[in-house]
Structure formats: C-alpha cells, structure tokens
Amino acid sequence: MDDIDTMFCHLLGEIDHLYQVRYRNVSLNELEDQDLDALVAGLGSEPVENTSSGAGKQIPTSAVGQESEAAHPPPSDTAEASGAPRTGEPQTKAEKVKLALEKLKEAKVRKLIIKVLMSDGSSKALTVDERQTAREVLDKLFEMTHCNRDIDWSLCESNPELQTERGFEDHEYLVEGLSAWPRHSQNKIYFLSKPEKYVMFTDPQLFYMWKTKSFNGTNQQAQLLIKENFEGPALIVPDLEGMLHLKVDDKKVWRPRYFVLRASGIYYVPKGKTKSSSDLTCFVRFEKVNVYTTSNYKHKYRAPTNFCFILKHPCIQRESNYIKFLCCDNEDTLLLWANSIRIAKYGTVLYKNYQAAVNRASGWQRDHAAANKMSVHRGADPSNDPPLDFIPPPPPPPPPPGHTQV
C-alpha cells in the first residue's frame, strides 16, 4: 500500500501546478474523498469548445449537451437510496485520484466542432481533437458517408479572400491547421476526390521523366521509379527547372524568371547569370511554407494565365508581402511544380501516407466484397449499397465576386 501511495504522490506532484492554477491554488493532495468525487464529476461535465470551421454557422452548445446527457443518463434513484456502490466506479482514494488525473489530461486536449462541405452540396458536422490527423478524420467521413475509400479523397481548405485551395496532407493534425484561421474566417473545408493527391506515385514518370516527351513503360517500370527515388537511402527530388512568371511585390506585374527546384527550396537564376549552383539565388525555403493552388488570378492579379500557385506560411490568411506568387504557362506545368514541391517538402512521409491509403482502400474493398458475397448468400439485395467506384457529384461553383450569398 505504501508503494501505491508513493506512486500516486509522484503523479500528483507533476500536475499539481496545473491544478493549482486552474482550481484556485488548492492541491490535489489536500482534497478529501467527497472533494475528489466533486472534481471528477465536474471534469466530466466540461463542455467541448464550440467552434464551427468551414460554414460560418455554429452548432448550438445545447445540442452537444443534450447528446452528452443522452449518452450518459443519470443513475436511478434506487441505487442512490440504497447506498450500494455502482459497478465500475472508483472506490478507493487512489482510484479516484487516478481517474481525476486522466480527466485532467483529457480536459487539456483541444477539441473543435467542424462543418465539412460534401461534394453534393450537403455538409457533415463532426468533432475533432488536436490528436487526430487528417487521415483519421477522413476515416470518420468514410463511415458517415458510406462512399468508397479511394486514395484520392482529401480534406481541402479554401480561402475565398486569397482565392486559394490546399489539401491537408494525411499526416497533418487537422486542429493545428484550422487554428491558423481567423476567428470569423470565411474559409471552408471540403471533402473532395483529388486525383492529383498521389499522382507522383500513380504516375511517377510525370515527375522523374518529365523531360521525356513520351513514356511507354510498364507498371513494373513505374514501380522501379518509385523504388529508386523513395525507397533508397535518401529521397531524390525531381530534377525540375524551367521558366515561370514571378509577381512583383505590391504590383500587378509579372516577370519571367528561370527557377530551379532543390530539396531545400526553390532557387532562381539572376539576370545575366548562368544556371550553375554558384549563381543560383534562393527564392524560398520549404520549412515554414505550404503550396496553394489558386483560381482566377488572371482577373485578380492580371497574371499571364490562370495556372498559378502561391507559397506562404499557414498563418497568413490575407494579402501580404510575405506571399510568393508564381504563374505557369499551362495546367501540366502547374501540376508538375506544385506536386514536386510537396515531394521536396514532405519527402518519405508523403510516400508512407500513400502506402497507408492504399492499404486502407484495399482492405475496405476486400471487406466490402466479402459483405456483398455474404448478403447474396443470405438472399439479401446488395444493390442498395454504394458501388466501389461511387464518387459524389462535384460541388456547386462558388458565387461570382460581389455576390452576397443568402
């Protein structure tokens, strides 16, 4: 018993400071049994942070509270009147302290209620916490929508002010990304199928043999490209270079520059210099910026084409001199640069995301096929289930500039 007391005293000491700040400088060691009971009950009733991301409409806190009460109905009067201990509840002081510690840790976890817009125009509301990655939230949405689990499904954020879009990487923590949004942001979250999400693995020749006009290789040769560039001792970044248009600061003027991709960032050749490494000047490094595709920049910034992308810190949510604007001549060049930047920034983590997505999709297809076979064997009609290639229709187009949405 002395060992148990020593163990819990040590744990109490580690969080005592946190508790004192939160609960008026009272130490957990000074609490009596009834105080511990009240603490545990109070921690269990703390509400989830009510923040709606993606639709500009908040879910009433009362709805969350009603759901919680329905999930945990109050105990019967008979049990309370008899004084009999309820099964599964802590009885000793050590058990109560342990439960209080667990609930204190859980109370520190940040939670958000988000609204995700679906491709058919509907929406889904769900609760996410800071420990969940975008892949885990995607799995939740798969369960809610009953659609296929193809590797192309993505959670995408859109910024109407900057007219940008970006897909969250599967390993990214969603709450961390959403925390960069302003409080009254008009940004939205979409659940979309994006074929370009893992195109660097489904068609690696587009990135590692882009100088070759045609590629007639087999799937085996494509897999060899992946193995050489992603499974070796070091990641090999696509040897990408070419002419892009750079937007001049604070002006709607674009000037051509010759850019070169490296593992650390993007470099350009100064006017009058050569493409040798000693002459290259750093344009941007990838550590603290993400790549975003854009829409209608030909009208917004007088870009040469609408095939533009920007590089910025996630916390920059409106126009800023710290945003780097680049414009490509065509859609293929935009696809090549935007995804090559993702390869350089995330490296083998991106490849692991792809492998995990493929494994999940394959496992779901096996389970779905087995369930259909069982349904047929039992005489059920599997035609009501969504097909394996089910993809909801695309979302409605955004309203034109200046239009007020009712």
Query: Are 50 and 141 in a shared domain?
Result: no
Q: Is residue 392 part of a domain?
A: no
Per-residue pLDDT band for 353 (boundaries 50, 70, 90) equals very high
CA dihedral 197, 202, 205, 210 (to 10 degrees): -20
Q: Is pLDDT at 41 greater than 70 in this prediction?
A: no
Compute the distance between CA of residue 349 and CA of residue 343 in angstroms, rounded to an integer: 9
The pTM of this model reads 0.71
Q: Is residue 89 part of a domain?
A: no
Phi then psi dihedrals of residue 204, to 5 deg: -65, -20
Query: Are 67 and 127 in a shared domain?
Result: no
Tens-digit pLDDT profile for residues 307-333: 999 999 999 999 999 999 999 999 999
Of 26-35, 78-87, 283-292, minimum mean pLDDT range: 78-87
Tens-digit pLDDT profile for residues 258-269: 999 999 999 999
Query: Are 104 and 147 in a shared domain?
Result: no
- Chosen domain end from 129, 164, 192: 192
Q: Is residue 31 part of a domain?
A: yes
Quote the number of domains for the chain.
3
Query: Are 152 and 168 in a shared domain?
Result: yes
Q: HSE-up of 229 (CA within 13 Å, CB side)?
A: 24
Query: Are 252 and 315 in a shared domain?
Result: yes
Query: Are 36 and 16 in a shared domain?
Result: yes
**pLDDT value of position 22:** 47
Domain range enclosing 56: 2-72+95-108
Query: Are 103 and 136 in a shared domain?
Result: no
Q: Is residue 282 part of a domain?
A: yes
- What is the torsional sign of CA 258, 262, 266, 269? negative
| Angle (nearest 5°) at CA 345 between 342 and 349 | 85
**Residue from 55, 180, 50 nearest 127 by CA:** 50
Q: Is residue 138 part of a domain?
A: yes
**pLDDT value of position 32:** 55
Query: Are 101 and 176 in a shared domain?
Result: no
- Chosen domain end from 192, 223, 258: 192
Reading the block at residue 313, the tokens are 């810190």
Query: Are 16 and 59 in a shared domain?
Result: yes
Per-residue pLDDT band for 211 (boundaries 50, 70, 90) equals confident
User: What percent of the chain has a predicted confidence (pLDDT) above 90?
Assistant: 51
Query: Are 125 and 50 in a shared domain?
Result: no
Q: Is residue 202 part of a domain?
A: no
Query: Are 103 and 150 in a shared domain?
Result: no
- Chosen domain end from 319, 346, 373: 346
Q: Is residue 24 part of a domain?
A: yes
Is the pLDDT higher at 233 or at 392?
Answer: 233
Reading the block at residue 90, the tokens are 């802590």
Q: Is residue 79 part of a domain?
A: no
Q: Which CATH number do you get for residue 127? A: 3.10.20.90
For 127, 370, 392, the CA distances from 145, given in Å and listed in that order, are 16, 20, 10
Compute the distance between CA of residue 48 and CA of residue 114 in angstroms, rounded to an integer: 12
Query: Are 251 and 319 in a shared domain?
Result: yes
Reading the block at residue 355, the tokens are 């492998």
Per-residue pLDDT band for 122 (boundaries 50, 70, 90) equals very high
